[in-house]
A and B are shown apart, each in its own frame.
Chain A
Amino acid sequence: MAVQTVIEAVREAMREEMRRDDKVFVMGEDVGKRGGVFLSTQGFIEEFGESRVINTPLAEASIMGIALGAAFRGLRPIPEVQFSDFLWPSVNQLVGEAARVCYGTDGNLPVPMVVRIPYGGGIRGGLFHSQNVEALFFHTPGLKVVAPATPYDAKGLLKSAIRDNNPVIFLEHKKTYRMVRGEVPEAEYLLPIGIADVKRAGSTLTLVSYGLMLHYCLEAAEVVSAEGIDVEVVDLRSLRPLDKATILESVKKTGKLMVVHEDNLTGGVGAEVAAVAADEAFEYLDGPVTRLCGPDIPTMPFAQTLEDAYLPNTEKIAEALRKLAAY
């Protein structure tokens, strides 16, 4: 086992898949000699050449539309959005078009494409370099949405996403890129899309999260465990399809549920998780389903104090856990 960062795991996953299958290629802004602004494609142009590592013009709608068209021909494009904040010009091709292709051809035209999106904040990115964009895709039938938190999950899920014959939105939290390290097996492995992972077993309450916040949740769980609160932490890993079974199994065991995410509160993933629990585990609940999320403002602001005020963190999560445990 080698210890890797998230960005290394992402890079390795793509490199392995590109070596394995000529049809896999990357495209996006600065993915060539620069190796991507986060260096996720570092060394690729040297190894795979310009035809499979395409530096595109600075135009997101065409990056996605062209990737989609190449997928129609049976290639496996991995278009990259440089930052989530710049994906909006391409939403027509992703939500409007890609998500509807399979259903709209009654299953006759597969879309084997993975859209990689560095997203999220806590990096002093302000309103236009910190955005959480998952709720839009989470709401869109026809897309799969993956949001790993660890190098191991990022690699195994990205490799599965590349081999999937359906459009996958692959969300990589920017702050985890270099902050989070973890063991990654040398041998090849794949992780199934749509399966959550219990990252910490516990009996007092269930804490559901994903992405960067997962790590703060794990820290908070340690903090309160000293106080006798035994938290089960469920890492969704895939947002769509949502692994209801794992969520429900945990909630039925603990009887209490809290969801933490960085994205805005209203209409977010947490709302759906709460609804699933209310619908399908009502008799098991013995406390209010609670959410600790970003407030309903357009993204976390630039100033340190405001960014801190926006984001859930270990202390805030621990405090919320105590409250729920005491209910």
Chain B
Amino acid sequence: MTQARAPKRPRKNSAKGSAQADGLPQGLTSQDLVEYYSKMVMVRTMDERIWMLNRQGKVPISASAQGHEAAQLGSLLAARKDGDCFLFPYYRDLGIKMAAGLTPTEVMKSFMGKAGEPYSNARQFPLQGADLKHNIIQISNVVAAGLTQAVGYALGCRMMGEKTVVLVFFGDGASSQGETHEAMNFAGVHKVPVVFVCENNGYAISVPQSSQMAIADVASRAEGYGFPGVVVDGMDLVSVYEATREAIIHARAEGPVLLEMKVERFMPHTTDDDDRRYRPAEEVENLRQRDPVITMTAYMIEQGFLTQEQVEEIDAEAKRAINEATDAADAAALPDPSTLLDNLFVD
């Protein structure tokens, strides 16, 4: 496992020593990439639609994943290929939660607060609670609160004699929390099979990284906990897949890894934020040059995994699915007020 490194220029579509004959990293097929490219397009289309529906008054709140998609889907792909991972995402992880197996209608119902929504039956913010069918828990949006829980979950799995690796996701801002330190320290001491995944977008609402920490890479903190820290270009799905795959293998065999994915936040913090107060418009425009969806589209065509025509079909299919989901969720029932007091406890 490589120690913390900070590539000044992101590595592009890196295929290192583990490359197969087709140039793809180990365990990865072109079908996987087509599948995850399609998921990425679906997530982006959903994300954009949700923002629009917010402006129309139909969705109360959303934290956009735009700019984080390659990071989220690349790590999800590695977790799914591994086959024995449990995920503790955070509020910006639409890509993970949706692509983990929810239908667009389920996602849309969640954003509209409709009955039967899979995470909390619309008691919580969108896609927050638990989706146990897809091995996901995110209890709250108190930043960093999931880290110690993820460590406990991984410890619990180990006590049950299981080989599960837990991936827990958080932002650069969340890395400042005391609980982040406590979680990493315990995981280091007890060699808990957990991968700490920091989606570093350089901002915590309006606070830039330079006011958040005095270091360039969150990953460099790993040394202080006695485990490896790795920096990866989070705008590139294949690099993320590879780094996450290695991290999972390491976590299972030797203990925790801190994986920092450098990403960009294209949108304001949430639908309630106005980033013009603290972020120059050109900054975002420049970032859009590195849009992970555009980058991956070019890559898929370049590599011959998809034709231009197929790309357009994928796009059209996403729009169709999201249209249908919007209509279905719009028509879905709201929770019955008589359920207000239900399920405070289990038997």
Q: Distance (Å) between the CB of B4 and the closest chain A CB?
A: 23
B129 touches A104 (CB 8 A): yes
Count, chain A residues at interface, CB 8 A: 43
B157 touches A73 (CB 8 A): yes
Q: Judge whether A284 is part of the interface by a CB distance below 8 angstroms.
A: no
Q: Judge whether A61 is part of the interface by a CB distance below 8 angstroms.
A: yes
B129 touches A62 (CB 8 A): no
Known contacts being A59-B182, A70-B153, is A165 close to B129, with CB within 8 Å? Answer: no
Chain A, 54-82, CB within 8 A of any chain B CB? 54, 56-57, 59, 61-62, 64-75, 77
One of B130, B160, B182, B347 near A65 (C-beta < 8 A): B182
Interface string of A81-117 (1 = CB under 8 A from B): 0000000010011001100111111111110000000
The complex places the Cα of A219 from the Cα of B132 at a distance, in Å, of 53
Residues of A within 8 A of B185 (CB): 57, 59, 62
B123 touches A97 (CB 8 A): no
Residues of B within 8 A of A305 (CB): none
Known contacts being A57-B182, A59-B182, A106-B342, is A73 close to B160, with CB within 8 Å? Answer: yes
Q: Judge whether A166 is part of the interface by a CB distance below 8 angstroms.
A: yes
Q: Distance (Å) between the CB of B85 and the closest chain A CB?
A: 14
Chain A, 228-257, CB within 8 A of any chain B CB? none
Residues of A within 8 A of B346 (CB): 102, 107, 110, 165-166
Residues of A within 8 A of B154 (CB): 69
A69 touches B140 (CB 8 A): no
Q: Closest chain A residue to B133 by CB distance?
A: A108
Q: Distance (Å) between the CB of A308 and the closest chain B CB?
A: 38
A100 touches B140 (CB 8 A): yes
Residues of B within 8 A of A68 (CB): 148-149, 152
B130 touches A61 (CB 8 A): no
B120 touches A106 (CB 8 A): yes
Known contacts being A61-B148, A62-B151, A65-B145, is A107 close to B343, with CB within 8 Å? Answer: yes
Interface string of A130-172 (1 = CB under 8 A from B): 0000000000011010000000000000000000011000000
Chain B, 148-169, CB within 8 A of any chain A CB? 148-157, 159-160
One of B148, B156, B179, B344 near A142 (C-beta < 8 A): B344
A66 touches B151 (CB 8 A): yes
The complex places the Cα of A62 from the Cα of B343 at a distance, in Å, of 27
A65 touches B120 (CB 8 A): no
Q: Closest chain B residue to A113 by CB distance?
A: B152
Q: Judge whether A210 is part of the interface by a CB distance below 8 angstroms.
A: no
The complex places the Cα of A180 from the Cα of B186 at a distance, in Å, of 37
Q: Judge whether B147 is part of the interface by a CB distance below 8 angstroms.
A: yes
Q: Judge whether A44 is part of the interface by a CB distance below 8 angstroms.
A: no
